[in-house]
Chains A and B, each alone.
Chain A
Amino acid sequence: QSVLTQPPSVSGAPGQRVTISCTGSNSNIGTNYGIHWYQQLPGTAPKLLIYGNNNRPSGVPDRFSGSQSGTSASLAITGLQAEDEAHYYCQSYDSSLSGSVFGGGTKLTVL
């Protein structure tokens, strides 16, 4: 049971827009620590996609965006491409646990 809750799977056709939700509590997403997102392609290490709610590291396409409101956050992917098929994880800091916490991960399937 993960501290942050994500849907196990989402899907979309090429070119479409999909969103992945991440629900937490007042001790993690609801704080000022921010929410971060990672993409894990099959057989590879995770890669930082979004940090501090809605910031993209250099090299990440602007098709990826993040948002946060209260104790929930979302990752949006527009113009879906076949290479976006991967697992996506949200992450934050939990003040009650005094450590980082992850969502359980969402598998994105591009139809």
Chain B
Amino acid sequence: EVQLVESGGGLVQPGRSLRLSCRASGFTFGDYAMSWVRQAPGKGLEWIGFIRIKAYGGTPEYAASVKGRFIISRDDSKSIAYLQMNSLKTEDTAVYYCSRHPLYGDVSNWFDTWGQGTLVTVSS
């Protein structure tokens, strides 16, 4: 069964850092680009970043709202994608989902599989 499981969420103070993990199973992780999408309480979906497969350079792309503060990486040997969040702000409070693009897909494609999400609350 194809599955994505996020972890690492929790309560964090403004200005601090937090790292989220997305563990994949049921498919060859290295063949799929991954994105992170967040949803603030009671709000819509916001794409925040993406990482290509190694064959396409393994490079990330970011939304303007998080560029320079968030870093996306991947460890294909462990089938895990990471979201390192630095200089957190109260407006970063949201459920964070990792999502998978189609096979050999890119940032312009859809998200065919989603994790269950992990809640990050930024508050003093």
Chain A contact residues, CB within 8 Å of chain B: 2, 33-34, 36, 38, 40, 44-48, 51-52, 57, 89, 91, 93, 97-105
A100 close to B35 (CB less than 8 A): yes
Q: Which of A2, A36, A48, A100 has the most CB of B within 10 A?
A: A100
CB within 8 Å for A48 and B45 given contacts A97-B64, A99-B61: no
B117 close to A45 (CB less than 8 A): yes
B112 close to A103 (CB less than 8 A): no
Listed from nearest, the 10 A-B pairs whose CB atoms lie closest are A93-B108, A36-B110, A100-B47, A105-B44, A45-B114, A51-B110, A102-B45, A33-B108, A104-B44, A48-B112
A52-B110, A105-B44 given. 17 additional CB < 8 A pairs? Answer: A33-B108, A36-B111, A45-B97, A46-B45, A46-B97, A46-B111, A47-B114, A48-B110, A48-B111, A48-B114, A51-B110, A91-B111, A97-B63, A97-B64, A98-B61, A99-B62, A100-B108
Could you mark each residue 97-123 of chain B with 1 if its beta carbon is under 8 Å from any beta carbon of chain A, else 0?
Answer: 100001000011111111111000000
Chain A residues in 8 Å Cβ range of B63: 97, 99
Query: In whole angstroms, how far apart are the Cα atoms of A45 and B3 in the complex?
Result: 12
A91 close to B115 (CB less than 8 A): no
Chain A residues in 8 Å Cβ range of B44: 2, 89, 102-105
Nearest-neighbour CB distance to chain B for A92, whole angstroms, equals 9
Select one of B47, B102, B115 contacting A99, CB under 8 A.
B47
Select one of B50, B64, B97, B110 contacting A91, CB under 8 A.
B110
Minimal Cβ-Cβ distance residue in B for A106: B44
Chain B positions 65-124 with a Cβ under 8 Å from a chain A Cβ: 97, 102, 107-117
Nearest-neighbour CB distance to chain B for A20, whole angstroms, equals 13
Nearest-neighbour CB distance to chain B for A99, whole angstroms, equals 5
Query: In whole angstroms, how far apart are the Cα atoms of A98 and B108 in the complex?
Result: 9
A100 close to B117 (CB less than 8 A): no
